[in-house]
Structure 1
Amino acid sequence: MFELVLRAPETLVEPVSEALMEELEALSVSVEDADVNTEAEQALFGEPGMPAPKSGWQRSTLKALFAQEAQATEAATLLLAQEWASELQVQSLQEVADQDWVRLTQSQFAPVEITPAFWIVPSWHETPQQAQQVIRLDPGLAFGTGTHPTTRMCLRWIARQDAERRARWQRVLDYGCGSGILAIGAALHGAREIDAVDIDPAAVQSTLDNAQANGVTLRAGLPELAQEQYPLVLANILATPLKLLAPLLAGHVAPGGDLVLAGILERQADELKAAYAPWCELQVSDAEDGWVLMTARLADQG
């Protein structure tokens, strides 16, 4: 394995990365801040499930892996010959030791504690002794592995409800299901007739696979699968779509039912309260690392 290290300004990060992956046979490309650990270092991040706001930093380091040294050399030569890449610099080209990449990746994902009795555990880990309920879930393409505060807060809310409230969950809707983790968590805490929907077919398939792996029965499909009303509606998306979906999501909550929303930054809480005010009174029920969980119980018309 050979690593080609390049230095590029922000404007070249995306075109160079695309050229490396799509035309020059790179096995992978990573982008790092060239000024990391200096006073010029910049934070660059986006909201969960969304891309970062920029493709790179003002000065970025690109690291491309190649199977053969000749491929790495040819890639560097071809890139430097392009007029549009005149500001690109080659930092190094060196052989890297073979590693067990699967084991290295797996080591980065440890069991996640939701409550002392409720855990999310990757398939290659042993179940913690204190765990009474477990979701077996491996990292994949769909968002929702339990490592993000928004997912943990949703699952924590589910786990902390009393038996009387859980008994009401004859039907549950997980809107924007991703990996299906919330739907599975609800099932493990007594929910029945669960509908999990997402606009991404890959997420729908991921939900079905993860449900089967956890012995959970549910229906998964595109948003039109959601019909009528549910005693519990869960939506861990982002603040902007949550605001746009307010009439739809609130309309799916049965009288006396619970609405649980996540993907919301603390500064966005008032916007969400205003958006849902015609139907319910949202309140902040949990907070972690700058994110909040907002919930409401709709009026019982009976």
Structure 2
Amino acid sequence: MFELRLLCAEDQVEAVSDALEALEALSVSVEDADAHTEAEQALFGEPGMPPPKEGWQRSRVLALFPSREAADEASQLLQAQDFFAGGRVVDVAEVADQDWVRLTQSQFAPVDVTPEFWIVPTWHEPPEQARQVIRLDPGLAFGTGTHPTTRMCLRWIARQPLRGLRVLDYGCGSGILAIGAAKFGAATVDAVDIDEAAVRSTLDNAQANDVALHAVGLPDAAQGAYDVVLANILATPLKVLAPLLCGHVTAGGHLVLAGILERQAEELTRAYAPFVPLSVADSEDGWILMTARR
């Protein structure tokens, strides 16, 4: 395979990417051409906020083609287009064939939540010290155990007496928190998400872990009050959802929130103050876990 490498401005990225896809590129990716320099820019988005930009002020666009002829033809056609004015073709380089499945799998090793609680992909054997294991492979839905927010929620779950309790995982993603709660003894676990792909992923992962969840579906599947409500989302939707989430917590129950940056602690505390007194319970790599008792 051959990779066509281009440089272009931020406002050209969308048109260039669309053109490469129309020219039957096998894949198209965009990188910051100034990465690892003082000019590097961070691009990210949050629900309720403006979407992130399509690219960087100086963007590197990489397109993979099955042959040099196809890459060269795409290069020539692009350079003839007005929307590519000022852009530059860097080169066309051969890419060594690789076992992409094995390469992808090699990036996902077992993750320790506690010394005895591990998240283990199916292609790995659990570590000898693991006493509790969630089997989980990376997929379309968020939550593989590698992100600090997920690990903090799972650590909280592992340290709580959940036996006999009713638990809600709101914004379940892969279902990892719901599965963790069930494995640590929760009597009833419901898992909901606005994304139907996440609902399917949760059902599949629960089955793979021999876990029976009570209700899995869209948000209206969450009914009544719960002893524990878990929500690992992001700060903006968590603020919007404050009345709803708190309304699902029974008297004396726990509210556990993640997806919050350290600098966002005060605004989350204010948003939840009319309902519960939030406090920081854990932190990792600039992210925090906030909890409350109702």
TM-score (norm 1): 0.92
Q: How far did 1:26 drift?
A: 1.1
Partner of 1:175 in structure 2? 170
2:173, 2:199 within 8 Å by CA — same for their partners in 1? Answer: yes
Residue among 206, 225, 231 paired with 1:229: 225
Match in the other structure for 1:278: 274
The residue number in structure 2 matching 1:287 is 283
- Structure 1 counterpart SS, 2:90: strand
Identity %: 72
Does the aligned pair in 1 maintain the 2:154–2:177 contact within 8 Å? Answer: yes
CA spacing shift, 1:51–1:73, aligned 2, 3 Å: farther
Who is 1:134 aligned against?
133
Find the aligned partners of 1:273 and 1:204 in 2 and give their Cα distance.
29
CA contact 2:164–2:188 (8 Å) conserved in 1: no
CA–CA distance in structure 1, aligned partners of residues 179 and 152 of structure 2: 15
1:176-203: CA deviations, max 9, x gaps? 0000010001111001221100010000
Q: Where do 5+ consecutive residues of structure 2 fail to align?
A: none
CA–CA distance in structure 2, aligned partners of residues 73 and 80 of structure 1: 11
Q: Distance in 1 between matches of 2:195 and 2:285?
A: 27
Q: Which amino acid aligns with 2:99?
A: D
Cα distance in 1, alignment partners of residues 267 and 38 from structure 2: 35
Task: Please state how far the C-alpha of 1:44 moved relative to its aligned partner.
Answer: 3.7
Q: Distance in 1 between matches of 2:239 and 2:38?
A: 38
Change (3 A) 1:198 1:144: same
Alignment-mate amino acid for residue 183 of structure 2? L
Say whether residues 1:19 and 2:54 are aligned partners.
no
Contact 1:30 1:63 in 2 (8 A): yes
The residue type paired with residue 29 of structure 1 is: V
SS in structure 2 at match of 1:3: strand
CA distance in 2 between partners of 1:38 and 1:280 (Å): 44
Count of residue pairs the alignment pairs up: 292
How far apart in 1 are the matches of 2:15 and 2:35?
Answer: 22
Matches within 5 A, 1:151-166: 151-161=150-160, 165-166=161-162
State the 1:233 CA deviation.
Answer: 0.5
Superimposed CA distance per residue, residues 147-206 of structure 1 (whole angstroms, 9 cap, x where no aligned partner): 111111000100112xxx32351x211000000010001111001221100010000000
Matches within 5 A, 1:1-302: 1-21=1-21, 23-46=22-45, 53-161=52-160, 165-169=161-165, 171-218=166-213, 219-298=215-294
Report the alpha carbon displacement of residue 47 of structure 1 after superposing the two structures with TM: 5.9
Residues 80 and 200 of structure 1: is their aligned pair in 2 closer, same or farther, counting only changes over 3 Å?
Answer: same
